[in-house]
Every structure is written in C-alpha cells, then in structure tokens.
Amino acid sequence: MSAITHHIPDHLLAAYAAGSLDFPFAMVVAAHVSMCLECRAALEAHQTIGGTLLEEVAETRISAGLKDKVFAQLDAPVREKPVYPRSGVFPGPVMQALKGKPPRWKTVGMGVRQCIVSASEQGTARLLYIPGGRAVPDHSHNGLELTLVLQGSFSDETGRYGVGDLEVADDDLEHTPIADEGDPCICLAATDAPLRFSSLIPRLVQPFIRI
C-alpha cells in the first residue's frame, strides 16, 4: 500500500470520537482509521481528551426511579452483534455494514457499478467500482461527500487519491473524478444529499441509481 496523504479533517475526527457523526460518515471514518496509523493516533488523542473532560464534569444527582431503570437495563441480557473482519479490499467497518456478505454490485452505466451499503434519512453510503480510465460524470454537491479509496486510485481537480486516501467534498467543489489506468478503483462514498450533475443524462438516471 502506498503512503496515505489525504487524511480525515480534525473536526470530523472529533465528531466521530464524540459519537455525533451520522452513520454513513462514521462508517467511512472508521474504515479510514482502520487503514491509517496517523488518524488512529489522532482519534485516540480525541478520545483521551473526551475521557478527561468527563472526569471533570460536576456530579449530578439523579432520582431513585431513574437509577433503578438504568440498573435494570444493565442487568438485561445483552445480545452481542457478530464482528466481521476485513475481507479482501473491504475493511472491517464495511464488512460489518454488509453483515459479512460480499457486495451486491449493480450496473449504473459505462462499466461503473455500485452497491448501496446503507441508506437512511442520515444519508447514504455506497461502494463504487470504476474501471481504470473511466470517469464519474462532472458534478457538484448539495452537502458533504466523503470518498475513501479501497483499491486502485482516482484523480480529479484537487489531486490524486490512492488506497487509504480520503477526499472531502462539499458544495464548493465541482469535479470530475477519473479512475487511473490499471486496477479498477473501488471506493466507499458517503453523502448526506443528492449530487448535482452537470449534464442531462446523469440527471435523468439519478432517481434510479439513488446517487
């Protein structure tokens, strides 16, 4: 794996450590952290700071009824969720969302395929498979988009992104990502709003591919 040069912005790491990041983005951050020692260390620093702040918070008295309710929940049997390890190019957090199953790819045109991993009011996380040399149609954004490269690489107006690199795009960026020649580029992308495509055909098919 080449050196990771595009990392998670500090404010997103802080939100992830605080548990306030919406699930699609949290999955991307978790996947990147599993691949990047630098961001893993930064995350641990945020978690340490958060723990220190909690220790300094003044004690708050709670009612006996609330205390009994909390203890009852603690005594209830816990159903442990299965933990899925990394499989091939897919990090553990992605396999967790896929429940240990391989992606179910669907063709979206021009050799590009996608697999929607998670979709809710919070946003959408999807895997994208882009053959070498192929481009994603020119587009801008109605919100935030995080794109993590799992295999291959792509380039756009902001630079080149290889395995482990994370691109952060917002409504200020209009770009045309192009998969570099060689291995197909596989990415994990999370969005909280539909993209804004520049050309007509992508806009026409957009409702059907849910992107």
Q: What is the rounded distance in angstroms from the CA atom of residue 70 to the CA atom of residue 65?
A: 9
The number of folded domains in the chain is 1
Sequence-ordered alpha helix ranges (H) in the chain: 10-18, 23-35, 37-56, 64-75, 92-97, 200-209
Identify the domain containing residue 129 by its residue range: 1-211
CATH number at residue 184: 2.60.120.10
Q: What is the rounded distance in angstroms from the CA atom of residue 48 to the CA atom of residue 43?
A: 9
**pLDDT(89) > 60:** yes
Task: Answer for the pair 112, 17: CB distance below 8 angstroms, yes or no.
Answer: no
pLDDT band at 200 (very low <50, low <70, confident <90, very high): confident
How confident is the model at residue 30, as a pLDDT?
Answer: 97
Q: What is the rounded distance in angstroms from the CA atom of residue 112 to the CA atom of residue 210?
A: 14
Phi, then psi, of 23 in degrees rounded to 5: -55, -45
- The pair of structure tokens assigned to 118 is 């998670």
How confident is the model at residue 37, as a pLDDT?
Answer: 95
Cβ neighbors of 157 (< 8 A, separation 6 or more) are: 173, 174, 175, 176
pLDDT band at 210 (very low <50, low <70, confident <90, very high): confident
**Per-residue pLDDT reduced to its tens digit, 63-80:** 667 656 655 665 666 667
Beta bridge partners of 175: 139
pLDDT mean over 82-89: 93
Q: What is the rounded distance in angstroms from the CA atom of residue 126 to the CA atom of residue 25?
A: 11
Q: What is the rounded distance in angstroms from the CA atom of residue 75 to the CA atom of residue 25?
A: 32
Q: Which amino acid is at 90?
A: F
How confident is the model at residue 79, as a pLDDT?
Answer: 67
